[in-house]
Amino acid sequence: MIEALIFWLGFIFLGFGVNFLLVRKKNKQFGLDAFVLFLGLFVFIVLAQIFQFLGWSPDCLWVIPIFSFLGLFLWLKDKRFQYWDYMTVLHLFLAVLMVWWLALDMPLSAWDSWLVWELKAKQWLAHGWSINLLQFQDWLHSDGGVVSSTAHYPDGLSLLFFLGKWMSGSSVWMAWFLPLVYVTIVVTVIDVFRKQGASWSLQIFGYLVFFTLPLINNHIMMEGYADIWLAMTLLLLMVQLAYRHYYHHHHFLMMLSLIFLLPAFKLEGWFWVALFLTAQFIAQFLNNRYRLILAGLILVVFVVWFVPSYWHFSWAGRTVVFSQFFIQLGSYFSIQLVPHDISSEIITGLLLQNNWGLLWYFLPVVMLIWVLIKYPKDDRVNQVFFVLSFVSFVLLFTFTDAAQWAENYAAVNRVVLQLTLCFVFLLLHTLMSWDRVANKRI
Amino acid sequence: MLKNTLLFLLSGFLIWSSLVLFLLFNGSEEQQVKDISRSFKVKPGQMFQTEGHYHLSVLGTPVAEYLVELPSHQWSEYTYLLVDSDFQQTDFHAQLVWKSGDVAFQTVPLELGKSGMAIIPRITLNENGPFEVYLQMTQSVDLGEVTNAPEFRFKRFELMTDSVQARLMYSWLVMTDLKSLKISSLNFWAIQFFSISFACGVLFALTIWIVIGWLLKVEMKVMVLALMSIWIIFSTPIWLNQWQMKGLMKSQFDKLADNNAINGLDYRLKKISDHLSQTITELHMENLPIMIMDHNAFSRTRLAYHLHRYNVLTALSLNNIPVVKSKKGISTMLMLISQQLLPECEVVTLGVNAFDDGRLIWSEQGYCLVKI
């Protein structure tokens, strides 16, 4: 636990120091929050990967604690921070309480954790962290390297495991680190709402929701699955987009760090990055009726694709084919769309399994409010992203081979988990704007 | 504004209480319970009873089926099956199977290890003709392996009608059915769910209530407090479960975690790995690849974890060995193979083409170390 606290503070002050040095604006306030924590993680992972690539010794990582101490020094020196008010103390108390609530008395580790992330870290320690880890076929056809069945997985989490093992010989601290990170994020998000004028009832409700989602709690208690890291990163990205004008961080740096961390934790992070960029484009360049257009588009696609009986178009001697089940564009692209009816699995996963409490029951009314009420531009990106990601999730399990894993609810639950924290934020955000909503008429 | 708030709260009370009453009482039946603990058709001596438990000896076959002696028409009278069993073995699964002749047309998985309720499909005789229901127990074993003969232990199997009490019990079990934490338990066997009528009812009630709040222009504080009260009621089981979890973990694992071995099997694998490391050092074969052959995925991957200092090849077949040797220009490799795949560590049984000069170095705790 102490080790986890040290690493947690180390990353926070690392991010704080980097942010302070880069922003350089004297009239800004700086705080210790989840953003600087993730900025610290980003700096560590980037530096580590650079050192690995250059073949430098892991001893170069000692530069990181130096920056952490610099960050601590700057924080202590900056007398402008105003965080020691009663709300901060309350938040700290809640944070300590929730870490105790979430963390069990022994470190548990999921299968994926030691097989994927931790094993890679151990192989770096044993063979040198610049060693080429290759899958079997690649290893056969290359000189040198070490076989690793998880060579294709991203290095983000493995580097965290490596850091602990290299510094202290143990990565047990990761089991405590995850609850600390989660609580930091929750406290940061709720504090964002507080600064926007959220009532105490909304803040308490936010804490309640964040800490009583059964499957989220399970993922926190048993560290190892990267889905929770993706979920936390997506949440911070949403908050950063929605409230960047209120945060005196270096916005571009923060966005960059979060976008980089997505694929650094899990391969599907690339997909989320692409979706965010698409959402940014859609939200910025469509006119004010974007939500109606988007809703209409989705509805039209749905109706055209599913409602009629089989339809089929082909051109150019059947080299371009469009049908409900098959799309081909010459020799460049072809995909089979064999629809599988997995609606019961999705409904079960969202509503019937009690993995998410009552959370997803709010989905229809939240979507309805988005469609009917005009939101500021900053909010649109998050909403569009959520809609795109949810639709992508449904399409993924409906039209691709992923449907075979839909019956095993673990696959559905994993994707839903990555979107769950985002939806909690969006729900709270919708409630924040309730007074405006309630005064509107359709 | 006060009037609107009161109207909103009153409407909430009416909506949610109506929903609860509807879900509990609509279509409910008179409470009837039928104990079928002794209704399994078993061979003499296969089942016996001790204080508080029934014991069913599952003969040494991977799949065992026992007919539940209950006429077809009686099954449709019941909606729930309560299974109270504290027997838990990770490779052991149970389900009810509906068969018409030899054709199985319906299954209901059962969750063992605690008190659980499964919903029984209402199958009428018109649909599939006369049918029989079997309790089927499956044990995952590797081909050629002799199965254990576990004694399936349970307290009761009870059929229940769709009464108010049964619905309450089922809802409570679902809400408290938060999976216990095992090493890889986030792959759930999701067996207990809320019913679709529950989901539709809650969805409808929540949406209508929020829309009413919108139409009445209630303040955000009121809306949030109202939603919070519903959320607290619904999430009460997780508070209890979390508390129980902490107590359970404290009592069961009240020692510092050993980062080297995560369970009893892993201790054995760690010992084998240490012995192998010692052998590799003695033979000066640190730079050569080691092949691990074992059908058990946990053992195979855990061995690879302990042997991370070396170049470990897993999940390969024997045909890969010549390819590896020729591509990498090596003449010798080590292979750690499970005795399930190499009985008695008889190297010659692996086939001549795979090894020109296979030699057994040692055998220990179910594994053979072979130099190939």
ipTM of the complex: 0.84
Residue type, A188: T
Residue type, B321: I
What's the structural domain count of chain B? 3
- Please say if the pLDDT value at position B247 is more than 80: no
- Please say if the pLDDT value at position A133 is more than 80: yes
| Cα nearest neighbour of B225 on chain A | A201
Q: Are residues B234 and B330 in the same domain?
A: no
For A352, A386, B175, the CA distances from A361, given in Å and listed in that order, are 10, 16, 15
Q: Does the residue B337 lie in any domain? A: yes
Residue type, A180: L
Q: Are residues B233 and B346 in the same domain?
A: no
Residues on chain B touching A104 (C-beta within 8 angstroms): 181, 245-246, 249
Q: Does the residue B145 lie in any domain? A: yes
Q: What is the pLDDT of residue A291?
A: 64
How many angstroms separate the CA of residue A309 from the nearest CA in chain B? 28
Higher per-residue pLDDT: B21 or A172: B21
Interface of A with B in 379-418 (CB under 8 A): 408-410, 413
Q: DSSP string spanning B273-310?
A: HHHHHHHHHHHT-TTS-EEEE-S-HHHHHHHHHHTTTS
Q: Are residues B247 and B294 in the same domain?
A: no
Higher per-residue pLDDT: B287 or B90: B287
> Percent of chain B having pLDDT more than 90?
15
Q: What's the half-sphere exposure (Cβ side, CA atoms, 13 Å) at A19?
A: 34
Cα–Cα distance between A159 and A182 in angstroms, integer?
A: 19
| Cα nearest neighbour of A410 on chain B | B187
Tokens of A304: 């055209």
Higher per-residue pLDDT: A217 or A42: A42
Q: Are residues B122 and B221 in the same domain?
A: no
Q: Does the residue B183 lie in any domain? A: no
Q: Are residues B272 and B217 in the same domain?
A: no
Q: Is any Cβ of chain B less than 8 angstroms from the Cβ of A168?
A: no
Q: What is the pLDDT of residue B14?
A: 93
CATH at residue B61: 2.60.120
Min mean pLDDT across B257-266, B272-281, B320-329 is at B257-266
Domain boundary among B135, B160, B185: B160
| Cα nearest neighbour of B243 on chain A | A101
How many angstroms separate the CA of residue B116 from the nearest CA in chain A? 14
Mean pLDDT in chain B?
80
Q: Does the residue B42 lie in any domain? A: yes
CA-based torsion, A27, A33, A38, A40: positive or negative: positive
φ, ψ dihedrals at B318, nearest 5°: -65, -30
| Cα nearest neighbour of B239 on chain A | A212
Cα–Cα distance between A84 and A32 in angstroms, integer?
A: 12
Q: Are residues B53 and B145 in the same domain?
A: yes
Q: Does the residue B98 lie in any domain? A: yes
> Percent of chain A having pLDDT more than 90?
17
Min mean pLDDT across A266-275, B19-28, B181-190, B254-263 is at B181-190
Question: Residue B9 is part of which domain span?
Answer: 2-21+199-252
Domain boundary among B160, B188, B221: B160
Nearest to A105 by CA among B242, B253, B240, B239: B253
Q: Are residues B57 and B132 in the same domain?
A: yes
Cα–Cα distance between B193 and B25 in angstroms, integer?
A: 19
Q: Are residues B240 and B125 in the same domain?
A: no
What is the pLDDT averaged over residues B68-75?
84
Q: What is the pLDDT of residue A102?
A: 74
- Please say if the pLDDT value at position B91 is more than 60: yes
Q: If you compute the radius of gyration of chain B from its CA atoms, what whole number of angstroms results?
A: 29
Q: What is the pLDDT of residue A95?
A: 76
Q: Is any Cβ of chain A less than 8 angstroms from the Cβ of B181?
A: yes
How many angstroms separate the CA of residue B141 from the nearest CA in chain A? 20
How many angstroms separate the CA of residue B366 from the nearest CA in chain A? 22
Cα–Cα distance between A182 and A117 in angstroms, integer?
A: 19
Q: Is any Cβ of chain A less than 8 angstroms from the Cβ of B326?
A: no
Q: Does the residue B90 lie in any domain? A: yes
Q: Are residues B151 and B268 in the same domain?
A: no
Q: Does the residue B37 lie in any domain? A: yes
- Asked if B183 and A111 come within 8 Å (Cβ–Cβ), the reply is yes
What is the pLDDT averaged over residues B242-267?
65
How confident is the model over A304-321, as pLDDT tens digits?
776 777 777 777 776 777
Q: Are residues B57 and B149 in the same domain?
A: yes
Q: Is any Cβ of chain A less than 8 angstroms from the Cβ of B259?
A: yes
Helix (H) or strand (E) holding B255: none
Min mean pLDDT across A62-71, B242-251, B308-317, B363-372 is at B242-251
- Please say if the pLDDT value at position B315 is more than 70: no
Select the residue of B217, B232, B235 nearest A438 (Cβ to Cβ). Answer: B217
- Please say if the pLDDT value at position B184 is more than 50: no
How confident is the model over A285-297, as pLDDT tens digits?
655 566 677 777 7
Q: Is any Cβ of chain A less than 8 angstroms from the Cβ of B219?
A: yes
Q: Are residues B346 and B299 in the same domain?
A: yes
Q: Are residues B59 and B131 in the same domain?
A: yes
Three-class DSSP category at A359: helix
Select the residue of B210, B255, B308 nearest A122 (Cβ to Cβ). Answer: B308
- Which residues are CB-contacts of B352 (< 8 A; sequence separation ≥ 6)? none
Select the residue of A105, A204, A410 nearest B186 (Cβ to Cβ). Answer: A410
Q: Does the residue B88 lie in any domain? A: yes
Tokens of B218: 């209630």
Q: DSSP string spanning A82-136?
A: ---SHHHHHHHHHHHHHHHHH--SS-EE-HHIIIIIIHHHHHHHHH-TT--EE-H
Select the residue of B186, B221, B249 nearest A218 (Cβ to Cβ). Answer: B186
Q: What is the pLDDT of residue B149?
A: 59
